[in-house]
Structure 1
C-alpha cells in the first residue's frame, strides 16, 4: 500500500506558473532581523557605549530587547516553512542551486567587509587570512575555526537543515512523511539537547530542529488545509521548542547580557508567539493575500542586514556615542547598518544571484523532477485550499506517522 496521499479521481488543475508571494513573511523576516539588531546593540554586553554596558545606558529598553534573541527562533520557523515549499516537487540539483545562490553572494561580501573592519578598527580583534578563507566556505563551525562574525552560527544550522531536506527530497516528500518526521523529531531532539551538550555543539541543528519542523507543519496546513492531526503535531513541536528554549536559551542570554535575569516563561511564550506569527501570516486568508511590494523590497534587506550589522553597528556606536544622546546614536547606528545592507544587496547580492544560480543549475542536475507521488500544487497559494474530494486531508487515508517514516525508503516511494 502506498503511503503517499491517494491520487485524485480526476486530473488536478494545473498550478499557476508562479504562486502569489506571501509578502507578510517578508515583513516577519525584517521583524526578526530588527529584533536581533536591537539585542546586539542595546542588551548584549559590550563596551562601545563609552565604556558603559548597554544595560546601564538603556536600563528599561534592555529588559525588553534582551528577548530580541527570539528573532533567531522566528527566522528558523520561517525557514522551515519556506524551504519545504521551495523543495516540494523540485529536483535536488535545482534546490541546491537555488539555496547556494541565495546564501553565498551576500555572505561572501559580508565576510570580507567585516574581516576588513576587524583588521582596521583598533578595538576589534582581527582574524587571520586563513581564518577568513575558511569562513568564506560557511563551514567554519564544522572545522572549529573562529567566526569572522558571531552571527554566522545560525548559517551552519541552516546548512544542516538544507542537507536534511536534500535527503528528504531523495526519499520523496509527501505530506504523511513530513508530518511523521515532525511528530517524531521532539522525541529524539529534546533528550539529546538536554543530556548531550557535546553532541549539539557539533550538530547544532539538533537543538533547533523542532522549530524548523513547526514551520514545515504550518506549510503543510497552508498547502493542504488544516487538520486535527497537523495541529496536534504542531503543538508537540512548539512544546518541544519552548521547553528547550526555557531550559537553555534563557541561560545563554544571561551569559552575554547584563541586567535582570531572562525569564524562561517569557522565552517559552515567545517561541509560541513566533510560530503563531508565521501561522497567522500564512493561514489567515486576509493576511496571506496582502500584496504590498514594499514588504518584499524591505525583506530583501533582511539577510544582508543580519550578516553585517554587528561590527558595523558597534563601530558606529563607538564613534557617535561620545557626541550624541544614546537614542539618537542608536537610531543613526541602525541607519548606517541599513545603508550597508542596501549596498551589499545592490553591489554584491543582486548582480550575482541569478548568474550563479543558472551556472549551478547547469551543473547540478536535470531541470525537471521525476514523476511526483502526489499532485503538484502551488507552494504558496493566496489562501489555504480545502482538500479536494479525491485527496484525503492529512489526518485521513494515510498510515500512522511512525509507519510512514519507517517505510519511507520502500521501493517505489521515491518522488524525486
Structure 2
C-alpha cells in the first residue's frame, strides 16, 4: 500500500535521493471531502454579503451608517472574507489537482467557474435594465466582454465589481497549472511556495509590470499558505510547513492593512481587528489541515458550500437594485433580511438548475478534446 501511495505522490528521483525528506502521505486516512471547508467557504461568502449590504451600502436613499449604526462598524470588516476565500482556494486547488493531468485540472476549473458566472452576468444585466432609478447597465459589447471573465485585463468595466476576485483566481490557476504540468509532489509544491514567497516582495517593490500582474503580490501569501496547509493535510504537519504558514500570516498583514486604510469611506476604524481576524482564519485552517475538523460531517454542509459561489456572484448589484426599488416602502431590516433570504434561494436554484446541468454538459464535451 505504501508503494502505491509513493507512485502517486513522489517522483522516482525523489524517492531514491531523499526518501527521508518526503513525509509519508496520510491522504488515505483522511475523508475524501473536508466538510469544514464548505462551512468556511459559506462563512467567507456571508462576510462579504454583510459587508456589501450593511457597510459598503448601495441603493439606499439614506447613508448606510445611519440605517444600521450598531452593525455598521462590525460589518465593515466583512471585506476580509475575500482573503479567507483565497486561503481556502490555495488548499482546494492543490487538493483537486493532485494526481490529475493538467487537462483534467483545466476542465475542472472551466466547469466550476463559468456556468454560474455566465448566469450571474446575464441576470445582473437584466436586473439593472428593468429596475428604474438604479444603476445604468453597461454597453452590450462590454457585457459580452464580461462573459469571458477577462474584462479586467481588457480594461472593461465589471458588470458587478465583485468579479475582480475572479481574475485574481485565474492568475493563481495559471501559475498552479505550470506546477501541475511539471508534476505535483511534496518537494515541488514546497519549492513552489518558497520561490513564490521569495519573489513576492521583489515584484511588490518593482512597480507595475507583467511579473507583478502574474505573481499577485497583494494576495499571494494567502494562496501560498493554502498550499502549505494542504501539504500538512496530505503529508502530516512539520516545522517547515508551520514556518511557511507563520511567515505568510505575518507577511500578509502589511498589504491587508494597507487595503484596509484605502477604504476611507468607512470612516475612522481601528486596524487591530484585521490582525485578529486573519489570525482566526489561519487558526481554523490549521485545525482543518491537521485533521482536527475531519469529524465534522454534517450532511447539509456540501449544499451550503455549493451555494457559496452563486451567492457571491449574484448578491451585490442585484441586492442594491432591490434596495433601490423597495426601500421607500419597506423598513431597512425587514428589507435586508428578505433580500438576503431571496439571494440564498436564488443561489440554490442557480446551483441546481443552471450550474449542475451546464457543468456536466461542459465537462462531457471538453473531455473529448
Same fold (TM over 0.5): yes
**Aligned-pair CA distance for 1:288:** 1.2
Aligned pairs for 1:300-311 within 5 A: 300-311=306-317
| Aligned residues of 1:43 and 1:54 also touching (Cα < 8 A) | yes
Moved more, 26-35 or 325-334: 325-334
Paired residues, what number? 353
Aligned pairs for 1:387-398 within 5 A: none
RMSD: 2.5
**Aligned-pair CA distance for 1:304:** 0.4
Query: What is the aligned partner in structure 2 of residue 331 from structure 1?
Result: 337
**Aligned-pair CA distance for 1:358:** 2.2
Aligned pairs for 1:155-194 within 5 A: 155-193=166-204
Moved more, 54-63 or 26-35: 54-63
**Aligned-pair CA distance for 1:275:** 2.0
Higher relative contact order (CA 8 A, sep 6+): 1
Moved more, 131-140 or 117-126: 117-126
Q: How far apart, CA to CA, are the structure 2 residues paired with 1:300 and 1:45?
A: 26
Are residues 351 and 163 of structure 1, via their aligned partners in 2, closer, same or farther at CA, if it must alter by over 3 Å? same
Query: What is the aligned partner in structure 2 of residue 57 from structure 1?
Result: 67
Unaligned runs of 5+ in 2: 1-11
Q: SS of 2:110's equivalent?
A: helix
| Aligned residues of 1:200 and 1:206 also touching (Cα < 8 A) | no
Q: Does 1:278 align with 2:290?
A: no
1:101-134 deviation per Cα after TM superposition (whole angstroms, max 9, x unaligned): 0111000000100111122223112111111111
Are residues 194 and 58 of structure 1, via their aligned partners in 2, closer, same or farther at CA, if it must alter by over 3 Å? farther
Q: Does 1:115 align with 2:114?
A: no
Q: 1:354 aligns with which of 360, 365, 368?
A: 360
Q: SS of 2:289's equivalent?
A: helix
Unaligned runs of 5+ in 1: 364-416
Q: Does 1:42 align with 2:42?
A: no
Q: How far apart, CA to CA, are the structure 2 residues paired with 1:94 and 1:156?
A: 20
Moved more, 92-101 or 233-242: 233-242
Output the TM-score relative to the length of structure 2: 0.88
| Aligned residues of 1:242 and 1:272 also touching (Cα < 8 A) | no
1:188-216 deviation per Cα after TM superposition (whole angstroms, max 9, x unaligned): 22353355256688447332111001010
Q: How far apart, CA to CA, are the structure 2 residues paired with 1:353 and 1:181?
A: 30
Q: How far apart, CA to CA, are the structure 2 residues paired with 1:206 and 1:14?
A: 32
The structure richer in helix per residue is 2
Q: Does 1:95 align with 2:105?
A: yes
Query: What is the aligned partner in structure 2 of residue 71 from structure 1?
Result: 81
